[in-house]
């Protein structure tokens, strides 16, 4: 059966992130170890426990939307549209695919929470008549995928994926399956999030998930003894997934191939991962099997690596279970969340992009500010500085609330 499945490649990328407002700038920043974390500027944080975030800087929605559209669109959708405009232009896909076989699958963990906050405040302070008639369409999580489909005439499936912090990875994986099994020739896929607002900061902080450090270089600390929680980030990354022969016939550049995907659930707890890391390990094992992994492969893993005490230890265990102790210690592992913060539903998308570029350029982005490595996290996390390595297989791990686990596998073409 596997021999009859169609191959899936990436032919376009777009990125609006805390470290760059396009794909080239984002990748350059990740290679250089640029920290996108800084004090929150969107609102006053005097009464909040967490003061830092990884905000997108200098984003101008007018590059992608007219004034009226921008007024009736939540930031999470604006970011998704911006990244998708970049990706579509990069791939030149718009007029080179049958619209009926052009789809959208886009992830978000939370959707339009800023709109919800704004309109709920109006309800309490000014009454129900002052709530915007566009409140619901601006807030709902499917609106990013819906508006992308409208903008680019994607008449195939147009769906959101909402699996918390695994949303971006699940979106890309499910989009690949759509092509692999013949339901689409091209899919706009990725993730988006814009949840840096007082209610989400308060909620994450009160469950003790966020770092309360006020030092940007001592806040997002994956695999470090000093870690105390994640730093919330925002942004969007969009990828154009395309059937391999379709891409070849167009003569378009190819960034890499999506050759494996694993999706599991811990079926254990609403926030905590399973103590045996069974779900994360199984997602990796499934992705490796689909990617035809062998011991000869040189592996890079872009870890979920949030910088929370439990996650980093259990992800290390999952990697060892999937690869075996020896191979795990020979592999390169890094967490780009040390630079971008945790972009929630967009995290899997930017980390998939990092994997593609690592393969393309043979450069492993670092885990920055890793100064005191935890003894329980005993793999090669590429501390503080990028390294050159001729990798043949890259994996991107995403682990979300609700026990959602996703792993994407990529190879060079």
Is residue 3 situated within a structural domain? no
* Complete edge-to-edge strand list for the sheet that includes strand 393-400: 158-161, 102-107, 186-193, 235-243, 8-16, 256-265, 404-411, 393-400, 299-302, 332-334
**CB burial class (10 A; 0-12, 13-18, 19+) of residue 392?**
middle
pTM of the model: 0.97
3-state secondary structure of 145: helix
Q: Which of 246, 274, 342, 404 is catalytic?
A: 342
With a cut of 90, say whether residue 349 has pLDDT above it: yes
Are both 324 and 232 inside the same structural domain? no
Q: Which of 165, 259, 355, 407 is catalytic?
A: 165
Those residues whose C-beta lies under 8 Å from the C-beta of residue 165, and which sit 6 or more positions away, are 109, 304, 306, 342, 344, 345, 347, 348, 398, 399, 400, 401, 404
Are both 61 and 188 inside the same structural domain? yes
Structure confidence at residue 1 (pLDDT): 37
Is residue 290 situated within a structural domain? yes
Are both 191 and 123 inside the same structural domain? yes
Is residue 323 situated within a structural domain? yes
Are both 32 and 159 inside the same structural domain? yes
Handedness of CA 346, 347, 349, 350 (dihedral sign): positive
Q: Looking at residues 216-232, what average pLDDT do you find?
A: 98
Distances (CA, A) of 211 to 106, 335, 373: 28, 16, 17
Are both 203 and 292 inside the same structural domain? no
Of 250, 284, 303, which residue is a domain's last?
A: 250
Is residue 234 situated within a structural domain? yes
Using only C-alpha atoms, the chain has a radius of gyration, in whole angstroms, of 20
342 counts as catalytic: yes
Q: Looking at residues 34-48, what average pLDDT do you find?
A: 98
Structure confidence at residue 321 (pLDDT): 98
Question: 190: pLDDT confidence band, cut at 50, 70 and 90?
Answer: very high
User: What's the total number of domains in the chain?
Assistant: 2
Are both 215 and 348 inside the same structural domain? no
Are both 32 and 56 inside the same structural domain? yes
274 counts as catalytic: no
Is residue 296 situated within a structural domain? yes
Question: 357: pLDDT confidence band, cut at 50, 70 and 90?
Answer: very high
Of 206, 221, 250, which residue is a domain's last?
A: 250
Query: pLDDT of 155-185, one tens digit each?
Result: 999 999 999 999 999 999 999 999 999 999 9
Q: State how far the Cα of 241 lies from the Cα of 254, in Å rounded to an integer.
A: 10
Is residue 255 situated within a structural domain? no
Domain harbouring 301, CATH code: 3.40.47.10
Q: Looking at residues 219-238, what average pLDDT do you find?
A: 98
The answer to whether 192 and 343 are in contact (CB under 8 A) is: no
Query: pLDDT of 52-110, one tens digit each?
Result: 999 999 999 999 999 999 999 999 999 999 999 999 999 999 999 999 999 999 999 99
Are both 48 and 114 inside the same structural domain? yes
With a cut of 70, say whether residue 224 has pLDDT above it: yes
- Which tokens go with 405? 């686990």
If you write DSSP's letter for every residue of 297-356 in order, what string do you get?
A: --EEEE------HHHHHHHHHHHHHHH-HHHHHHSEEE-THHHH-B-GGGHHHHHHHHHH
- Which tokens go with 23? 């794909």
The answer to whether 188 and 25 are in contact (CB under 8 A) is: no
Structure confidence at residue 4 (pLDDT): 81
Are both 178 and 300 inside the same structural domain? no
Are both 159 and 97 inside the same structural domain? yes
Of 223, 250, 277, which residue is a domain's last?
A: 250
3-state secondary structure of 362: coil
Q: Looking at residues 282-309, what average pLDDT do you find?
A: 98
Are both 47 and 76 inside the same structural domain? yes
Are both 329 and 223 inside the same structural domain? no
- What's the number of CA atoms in the CB half-sphere (13 Å) around residue 311? 29
Full residue range of the structural domain in which residue 315 is found: 260-411
165 counts as catalytic: yes
Q: Which of 197, 259, 274, 304 is catalytic?
A: 304
Is residue 405 situated within a structural domain? yes
Is residue 398 situated within a structural domain? yes
């Amino acid at each position: 059966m596997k021999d009859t499945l169609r191959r899936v490649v990436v032919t376009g990328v777009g990125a609006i992130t805390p470290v760059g407002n396009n794909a080239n700038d984002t990748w350059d920043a990740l290679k250089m170890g640029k920290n996108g974390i800084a004090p929150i500027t969107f609102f006053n944080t005097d009464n909040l426990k967490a003061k830092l975030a990884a905000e997108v800087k200098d984003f101008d929605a007018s590059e992608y939307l007219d004034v009226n559209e921008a007024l009736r669109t939540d930031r999470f959708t604006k970011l998704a549209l911006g990244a998708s405009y970049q990706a579509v232009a990069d791939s030149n896909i718009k007029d080179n695919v049958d619209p009926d076989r052009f789809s959208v699958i886009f992830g978000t963990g939370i959707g339009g929470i800023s709109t919800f906050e704004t309109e709920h405040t109006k309800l309490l302070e000014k009454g129900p008549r002052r709530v915007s008639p566009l409140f619901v369409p601006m807030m709902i999580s499917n609106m990013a995928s819906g508006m992308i489909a409208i903008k680019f005439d994607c008449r195939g499936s147009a769906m959101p994926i909402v699996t918390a912090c695994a949303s971006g990875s699940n979106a890309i994986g499910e989009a690949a399956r759509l092509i692999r099994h013949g339901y689409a020739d091209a899919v706009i896929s990725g993730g988006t999030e814009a949840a840096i607002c007082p209610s989400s900061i308060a909620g994450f902080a009160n469950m003790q998930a966020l770092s309360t450090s006020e030092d940007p270089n001592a806040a997002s600390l994956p695999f470090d003894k000093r870690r105390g929680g994640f730093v919330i980030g925002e942004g969007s990354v969009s990828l154009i997934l395309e059937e391999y022969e379709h891409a070849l016939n167009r003569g378009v550049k190819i960034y890499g191939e999506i050759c494996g995907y694993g999706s599991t659930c811990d079926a254990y707890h609403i926030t905590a991962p399973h103590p045996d890391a069974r779900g994360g390990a199984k997602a990796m094992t499934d992705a490796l099997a689909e990617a035809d992994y062998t011991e000869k492969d040189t592996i890079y893993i872009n870890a979920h690596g949030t910088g929370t005490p439990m996650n980093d230890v259990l992800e290390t265990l999952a990697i060892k279970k999937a690869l075996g102790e020896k191979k795990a210690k020979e592999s390169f592992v890094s967490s780009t969340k040390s630079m971008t913060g945790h972009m929630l539903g967009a995290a899997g998308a930017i980390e998939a992009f990092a994997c593609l570029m690592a393969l393309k350029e043979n450069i492993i982005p670092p885990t920055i500010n890793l100064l005191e490595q935890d003894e329980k996290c005993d793999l090669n996390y590429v501390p503080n500085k990028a390294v050159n390595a001729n990798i043949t297989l890259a994996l991107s791990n995403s682990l979300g609330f609700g026990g959602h686990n996703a792993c994407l596998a990529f190879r060079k073409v």
